[in-house]
């Protein structure tokens, strides 16, 4: 399975995602529809972050009215350095920092879009230093206006759908923060030309790479506080938190006191990526780093992207039983999991009996209660819970609430091998009457069936009504599937 994997330990922004996708092999010519539709262009360069060679992407205004003079105050050792607090003019105000990646609630100093980069690249997107950066340029649009713009760009159908879905996520997050309705939501800086270029550009580059699966490790938010137009807020910012609620990945604080995850970066990854606790097994075919603007002493400010064939197959939906990979290998399916455990010496049987249902509500895939002997030879129970890594914290909290345990530990297991599961309804005839029973079918990733098991509750209900043994109903239901 072709997999695109992001390493989110230093967060993400729109331009970092663009840069990492290009560094991982996406064709820069795929960005042409955006340059055709907006008065801007992409400039791709290279820089070094703590010794790591990384790609940069800048969104530049067309050189209309540019007299060809370069502002020397903007150049340091050949790099275009937009450090926070600089007073130089790039066609937009720095009163509230580089708001290119933020909603109107979040017009503040931008962590990744300082665009510290070199302009020494050799492809069709190479340009001179005579340019104006496009952060915050163009009209500040409502959600409806952004939709109208994107649909007018003549994008491939799938790319347009992805871009609109990302902007819908941004709009929902913004409207939730402000208590407004989606259609009238003003994106402000996130609706400016450069932010549209980030979102649509990312959709075009992902489409060019054409992965079957996109994953990201937990995304670092950074820490500290940021000053926004309505006051000082802690990192992560309100819109990022709203987007994280809608995403399948998790957030992680640190590792530095700076804002690392922007709303645009969060929205792009919320649309495309499923969360993994660690990178899956991957036969890497291409990789690269997208640079952010900050320089930290001990942490390279880069977003890593890797593309390759995943040895870890995506787990099927429990209820749907859909096989994730089309070309099977006859193996079981690799599934990332967390295993939680706690020892109990005073839990009443009613509580233990209800744990299956209660923990399943917050993400538990399996719950086991094992009798054991505890200290001082007291009888007790070991509760073991299997869940997805992203659900582990919620499951642990519910387990503590239900049992009163003072601690839940995470065991060493990081994955399991599971069958693809399908559910089929079959008809069983008993004494001239027809009854419907659900049967679970287990197979490997090549579709080879190795187990058929009738659902006990269905069979028990039929057995009571027909006055026959449950085992007989199960036998007939399973035979009906095997004989097909």
Q: What angle do CA 314, 200, 93 make, to 5 degrees?
A: 130
For tokens 């820089």, name the residue. Answer: 47
Q: What is the pLDDT at residue 63?
A: 58
What tens digit of pLDDT does each residue of 165-208 get?
999 888 888 777 766 666 555 554 444 677 899 999 999 999 99
Do the strands 251-253 and 219-222 form a parallel or antiparallel pair, or are they unpaired? Answer: parallel
Identify the bridge partners of residue 381 per DSSP, sorted by sequence position: 344, 371
Q: What is the pLDDT at residue 185?
A: 56
- 374 versus 74: the higher-pLDDT residue is 374
DSSP reduced 3-state for 356 = helix
pLDDT range class, residue 123, cuts 50, 70, 90:
very low
- 118 versus 156: the higher-pLDDT residue is 156
Rg (C-alpha) for the chain, rounded Å, is 27
CATH architecture of 338-413: 2-Layer Sandwich (3.30)
Q: What is the pLDDT at residue 173?
A: 84
Q: Which CATH class is domain 419-482?
A: alpha beta
Q: What is the pLDDT at residue 119?
A: 35
Instruction: Please determine whether the domains at 338-413 and 419-482 fall in the same fold group of CATH.
Output: no
Query: Per-residue pLDDT for 34 more than 50?
Result: yes
- 474 versus 325: the higher-pLDDT residue is 474
Query: Per-residue pLDDT for 328 more than 90?
Result: no
User: What share of the chain has pLDDT > 90, as a percent?
Assistant: 46
Q: What is the pLDDT at residue 76?
A: 28
What tens digit of pLDDT does each residue of 131-150 get?
555 454 456 677 888 888 99
pLDDT range class, residue 85, cuts 50, 70, 90:
very low
Q: What angle do CA 360, 361, 362 make, to 5 degrees?
A: 90
Q: What is the pLDDT at residue 133?
A: 52
What tens digit of pLDDT does each residue of 392-406 get?
888 998 998 898 888
Q: Strands, DSSP E only, in 165-292?
A: 213-216, 219-222, 225-228, 231-234, 251-253, 274-275, 282-291
Cis-peptide into 255, omega within 30 deg:
yes
Question: Around Cβ 69, how many Cβ atoms within 10 Å?
Answer: 7
Q: Tell which residue, 451, 457, 459, 456, has the closest CA to residue 482.
A: 451
Q: What is the pLDDT at residue 92?
A: 35
pTM, to two decimals: 0.56
Residues 6+ apart with CB under 8 A from 280: 3, 5, 215, 310, 311, 312, 334, 336
What tens digit of pLDDT does each residue of 88-99 get?
333 333 333 333
**DSSP states of 64-105 as a string?**
TT--S---GGGEETTEE---TT----SSS--TT--GGG--GG
Of 75-84, 165-174, 238-247, 417-426, minimum mean pLDDT range: 75-84
Domain definitions of the chain by residue range: 2-310, 338-413, 419-482
Q: What is the pLDDT at residue 445?
A: 72
């Amino acid at each position: 399975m072709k997999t695109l994997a992001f390493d989110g330990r230093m967060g993400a922004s729109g331009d970092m995602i663009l840069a990492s996708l290009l560094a991982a092999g996406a064709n820069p010519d795929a960005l042409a529809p955006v340059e055709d539709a907006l008065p801007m262009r992409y400039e791709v360069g290279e820089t070094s972050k703590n010794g790591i060679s990384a790609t940069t992407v800048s969104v530049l205004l067309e050189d209309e009215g540019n007299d060809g003079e370069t502002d020397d105050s903007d150049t340091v050792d050949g790099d275009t350095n937009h450090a926070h607090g600089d007073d130089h003019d790039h066609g937009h105000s720095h009163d509230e920092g580089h708001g290119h990646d933020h909603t109107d609630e979040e017009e503040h100093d931008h962590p990744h879009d300082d665009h510290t980069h070199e302009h020494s690249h050799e492809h069709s997107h190479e340009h001179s230093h005579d340019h104006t950066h496009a952060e915050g340029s163009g009209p500040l649009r409502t959600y409806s206006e952004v939709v109208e713009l994107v649909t007018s760009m003549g994008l491939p159908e799938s790319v347009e759908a992805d871009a609109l879905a990302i902007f819908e996520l941004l709009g929902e997050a913004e409207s939730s923060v402000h208590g407004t309705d989606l259609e009238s939501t003003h994106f402000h800086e996130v609706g400016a030309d450069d932010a549209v270029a980030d979102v649509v550009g990312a959709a075009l580059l992902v489409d060019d790479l054409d992965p079957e699966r996109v994953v990201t490790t937990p995304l670092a938010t950074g820490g500290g506080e940021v000053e926004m137009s309505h006051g000082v807020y802690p990192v992560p910012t309100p819109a990022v938190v709203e987007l994280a609620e809608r995403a399948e990945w998790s957030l992680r604080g640190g590792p530095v006191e700076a804002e690392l995850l922007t709303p645009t970066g969060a929205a792009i990854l919320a649309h495309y990526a499923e969360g993994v606790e660690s990178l899956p097994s991957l036969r890497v075919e291409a990789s690269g780093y997208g640079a952010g603007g900050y320089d930290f002493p001990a942490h390279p400010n880069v977003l890593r992207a890797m593309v390759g064939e995943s040895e870890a197959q995506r787990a099927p939906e429990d209820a749907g039983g859909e096989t994730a990979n089309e070309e099977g290998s006859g193996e079981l399916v690799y599934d990332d999991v967390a295993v939680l455990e706690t020892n109990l010496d005073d839990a009443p049987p009613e509580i233990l009996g209800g744990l299956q249902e209660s923990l399943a509500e917050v993400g538990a895939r399996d719950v086991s209660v094992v009798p054991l002997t505890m200290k001082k030879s007291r009888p007790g129970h070991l509760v073991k819970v299997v869940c997805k890594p992203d659900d582990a914290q919620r499951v642990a909290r519910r387990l503590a609430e239900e049992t009163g345990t003072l601690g839940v530990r995470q065991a060493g297991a990081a994955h399991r091998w599971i069958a693809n599961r399908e559910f089929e309804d079959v008809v069983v005839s008993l004494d001239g009457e027809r009854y419907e029973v659900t049967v679970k079918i287990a197979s490997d990733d090549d579709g080879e069936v190795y187990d058929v098991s009738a659902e006990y509750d269905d069979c028990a209900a039929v057995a009571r009504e027909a006055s026959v043994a449950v085992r007989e109903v199960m036998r007939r239901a399973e035979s009906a599937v095997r004989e097909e």
